[in-house]
């Protein structure tokens, strides 16, 4: 058995947290490949090392002094090294970083040092080999992640190493320049490593005991989702559930490797299993609820729209021309509505409306703002009668006016549009009917 374990920033924020991580790894000798994030926040008022690095490099880039900021970052690592009682000096590494900052090595290089240095500390602490991600995680010249090339090189390299630490979040172009994934990208590195070593499981250790059925800021103490499929997770992540980076499932998904979300502070908890497919029934008809505020709808009307071939394409062309992606497009006989992110759309609304008039010649266009979308996701919905009926009667009982309904053909989710002001009420109503009442 082979396990890849990734630890998030809060799991590595201090020497105390490092010790918990060390215990977790030593408890199971199959935990052989470790992917660390940079040290995160020690408490709510703290700053993540990655953010400190961005701020420090911004000064270097502007030609200002940045030594004090760099010293503060060095102190974060020194505190961990001292707390762990390690014989390790990062002095030489920090001299190199200072030199490269002066030479303006780039923002990605700067941010990546958080994981790079934490990887060195972690490898020393565990007695594992350190492998710089820049030598095994590769990017194409256009910035795309080079999945196949990476897999080949990484598999070969790790095939010869019994136990290793590979820092998360970054890799390099063919010429050696460092490039990072988007924020939270260490989750992706963990998945890439799991694929390369054909791991039996990819354990992703964080500070919560898995995905919750609903947002705990809205619902008090919702239960943990025990098992969720990759596809369900995509739907929930897209709608705002943020435990795992949205792209982290792709490398393991093609190999059928399950992801297990675990809690460093409660290692006895089973966490959430993310799998390709399962015959495990979820406890409730729905697997989870997630949602986002801040959408606009553009309602377009034209008599006999239904018989005009190409009308939809012309309307969407107007959005494409201004670089705006659309979320949902429900339609009626003579109406079509396009849902977009309000902050993306606001500055361009009049231009887009003019383009729709020019391209599609509609009768009227009406824009509505301050809408929220809620996704009710569940593989069980397909085989259960009346799910939609229950959702809408629960919403009606709570006086929530439904502005839009969209059920994907996969029957994996139902998307509901409501006013921003009704957002939390709507989530509570849906949660109550499926989780609390379980009618």
The residue ranges that bind ligand ASP (CB under 6 A) are 9, 37-38, 48, 50, 114, 168-169, 183-187
The distance of closest approach from Cβ of residue 42 to ligand ASP in the complex, given in angstroms and rounded to an integer, is 14
Nearer to ligand ASP, 48 or 390 (CB): 48
CB of 186 to ligand ASP, least distance (A): 3
Nearer to ligand ASP, 11 or 287 (CB): 11
Nearer to ligand ASP, 48 or 302 (CB): 48
Name the residue with the smallest CB distance to ligand ASP.
186
Cβ closer to ligand ASP: 184 or 362? 184
Min dist. Cβ of residue 393 to ligand ASP (A): 42
Which run of H or E residues covers position 290?
A: strand 288-301
Q: Which is nearer to ligand ASP, 105 or 305 (CB)?
A: 105
Which residues sit opposite 164 in a β-bridge? 33, 129
Closer by beta carbon to ligand ASP, 38 or else 70 = 38
3 or 48, CB closer to ligand ASP? 48
Separation of alpha carbons 96 and 116, rounded Å: 13
Task: Please name which of 95, 123, 104 lies closest in space to residue 63, comparing C-alpha atoms.
Answer: 104
How many distinct helices (H) and strands (E) make up the chain?
Answer: 14, 16
| Minimum distance of ligand ASP from residue 48's CB (angstroms) | 5
Token reading at 268: 């006895």
**Token output for 257:** 């490797």
Q: How far is the CB of 195 from ligand ASP (least distance, A)?
A: 17
Phi/psi at 34 (5° precision) = -115, 130
- Distance of alpha carbon 224 from alpha carbon 207, whole angstroms: 13
Distance CA 328, CA 332 (A): 13
Longest dimension (CA), the chain: 77
Contacts of 36 (CB under 8 A, 6+ apart): 6, 7, 12, 115, 118, 119, 122, 165, 167, 168, 186
CA distance 211 to 233: 9
CB of 50 to ligand ASP, least distance (A): 4
Q: Pick between residue 171 and residue 185 the one whose CB is nearest to ligand ASP.
A: 185
Q: Angle 268-272-277 (CA atoms, 0-180°, nearest 5)? A: 140
Report CA 302 to chain centroid distance, whole Å: 39
Q: Do strands 413-419 and 364-377 pair parallel, antiparallel, or not at all (unpaired)?
A: antiparallel
Q: Which residue shows structure tokens 């460093």?
A: 264
From 434, 10, 383, select the one nearest 213 (Cα to Cα): 434
Please say which residue, 80 or 381, places its beta carbon nearer to ligand ASP.
80
Residue 36 Cβ, how far from ligand ASP at the closest point, in Å? 9
- Contact assessment for residue 130 and residue 123, using Cβ atoms and an 8 Å cutoff: yes
DSSP state of 308: -
Smallest distance from ligand ASP to CB 51, Å: 7
Burial (CB count <10 Å: 0-12, 13-18, 19+), residue 129: middle
List strand residue ranges (DSSP E) for 8-56, in order.
31-36
Q: 127 φ, ψ to 5°?
A: 75, 25
Shortest CB 184 distance to ligand ASP, Å: 5
Cβ closer to ligand ASP: 248 or 433?
A: 248
CB of residue 111 vs ligand ASP: minimum separation in angstroms? 7
Residue 186 or 297: which CB sits closer to ligand ASP?
Answer: 186
First to last CA, the chain: 42
């Amino acid at each position: 058995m082979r396990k890849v374990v990734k630890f998030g920033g809060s799991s590595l924020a201090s020497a105390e947290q490092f010790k918990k991580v060390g215990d977790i790894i030593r408890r199971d000798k199959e935990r052989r490949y470790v992917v660390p994030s940079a040290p995160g926040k020690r408490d709510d008022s703290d700053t993540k090392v990655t953010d400190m690095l961005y701020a420090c490099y911004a000064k270097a880039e502007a030609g200002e002094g940045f030594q004090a900021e760099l010293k503060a970052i060095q102190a974060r690592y020194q505190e961990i090294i001292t707390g762990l009682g390690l014989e390790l000096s990062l002095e030489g590494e920090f001299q190199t970083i200072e030199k490269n900052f002066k030479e303006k090595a780039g923002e990605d290089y700067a941010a990546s040092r958080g994981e790079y240095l934490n990887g060195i500390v972690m490898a020393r602490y565990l007695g594992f080999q350190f492998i710089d991600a820049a030598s095994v995680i590769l990017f194409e010249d256009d910035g795309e992640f080079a999945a196949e090339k990476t897999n080949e090189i990484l598999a070969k390299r790790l095939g010869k190493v019994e136990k290793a630490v590979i820092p998360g979040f970054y890799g390099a172009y063919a010429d050696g320049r460092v490039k990072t994934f988007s924020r939270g990208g260490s989750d992706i590195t963990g998945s890439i490593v799991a694929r390369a070593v054909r791991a039996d499981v990819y354990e992703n250790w964080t500070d919560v005991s898995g995905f919750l059925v609903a947002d705990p800021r809205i619902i008090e103490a919702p239960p943990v989702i025990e098992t969720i499929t990759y596809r369900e997770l995509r739907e929930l992540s897209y709608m705002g559930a943020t435990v795992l980076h949205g792209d982290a499932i792709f490398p393991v998904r093609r190999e059928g490797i399950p992801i297990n979300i675990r809690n460093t502070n409660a290692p006895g908890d089973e966490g959430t299993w993310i799998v390709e497919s399962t015959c495990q029934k979820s406890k409730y008809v729905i697997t989870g609820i997630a949602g986002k505020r801040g959408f606009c709808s553009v309602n377009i009307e034209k008599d006999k729209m239904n018989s005009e071939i190409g009308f939809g394409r012309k309307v969407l062309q107007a959005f494409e021309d201004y670089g705006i992606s659309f979320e949902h497009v429900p339609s009626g006989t003579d109406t079509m509505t396009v849902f977009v992110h309000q902050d993306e759309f606001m500055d361009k609304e009049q231009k887009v409306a003019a383009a729709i008039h020019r391209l599609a010649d509609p009768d009227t266009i009406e824009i509505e703002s301050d809408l929220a979308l809620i996704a009710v996701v569940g593989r069980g919905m397909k085989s259960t009668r009346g799910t939609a009926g229950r959702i809408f009667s629960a919403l009606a009982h709570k006086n929530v006016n439904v502005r839009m309904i969209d059920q994907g053909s996969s029957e994996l989710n139902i998307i509901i549009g409501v006013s921003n002001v009704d957002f939390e009420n709507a989530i509570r109503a849906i949660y109550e009917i499926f989780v609390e009442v379980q009618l």
